[in-house]
Structure 1
């Protein structure tokens, strides 16, 4: 009895049946479709991407000068000097606000008019849209500044900043270097002037002594 075509094919392939055709995977994108599916993962519900900053225009602003121990009250400091730190950084202020559990926005290129050498600003959502504080223990801006100052002193207390940050306009323009050189020049100039004055006084004394001795010699010669 002659073998069928199907049996002859199986004998040629060693008896291994041909696998059935697989259906297209649902994760594969058909390039022939006019509107291919969006392969980007969905963002979480709490994530918001926007370029409009009008949403936080009314938020409270915090500047590093508010907490700077090197600044006076007239120059912008808003906390007691014992609670202030030296040259605080805006990023550490934002971290302090985060530790309080309040939403904030860090703006690294904003500056205070009286403290342009230390850039950075933090906007804090102190109140809700119904004008109620997010945290009942922090109902005012003054209380917020006190809380931030306490945390900031713990962050920067062990490693105080001696100079403004490297991205400061003062550091990039070389003003700090000029001030250092000028102070060194004043010190050296003061020392040289005192030395020259002492030399001058010594020379004057020598001149007076020589003139007196010449007068004495003249008197002896006359006798």
Structure 2
């Protein structure tokens, strides 16, 4: 089974109402698909990047998405990915 990871889920510039799903302290500024994919690879989630896709709440922005294996609860996946991206940016 696959889980969809939209960049907005871990974006610190977005509000909860705009789709952010991790606490502000763990969120990263404007995450890139490549960063999400690299972090998911390190966790062993077998990511697949899908460019040209738009998050339904902001359909006019083409952000793309990353599909990953869902072997953990989604919230846990999001937290691990955002923490890994944060660590790699330091």
Tell me if both proteins adopt one fold, taking TM over 0.5 as the criterion.
yes
CA displacement, residues 41-76 of structure 1 (integer Å, 9 cap, x when unaligned): xxxxxxxxxxxxxxxxx4100000001111100110
Task: Kindly report which structure 2 residues correspond to 1:11-160, keeping only aligned pairs within 5 A, or say none.
Answer: 58-115=1-58, 116-117=60-61, 119-126=63-70, 133=71, 139-155=72-88, 157-158=89-90
> Which one has more relative contact order, counting CA pairs under 8 Å at least 6 apart?
2
Please report the RMSD computed on the Cα atoms of aligned residues, expressed in angstroms: 1.6
Structure 2 vs 1, CA of residues 71 and 62 (structure 1 numbering), >3 Å: closer, same or farther? Answer: same
Cα deviation code 1:147-177 (max 9, x no counterpart): 111011123x34xxxxxxxxxxxxxxxxxxx
Q: CA deviation at 1:114?
A: 2.8
- Give 1 or 2: higher helix fraction: 1
How many correspondences in the alignment? 89
Q: TM-score, normalised by structure 1?
A: 0.37
Greater C-alpha Rg: 1
Between Structure 1 and Structure 2, which shows a larger proportion of strand residues? 2
Q: Where does structure 1 lack aligned partners over 5 or more consecutive residues?
A: 1-57, 127-132, 134-138, 159-223
Q: CA deviation at 1:118?
A: 5.3
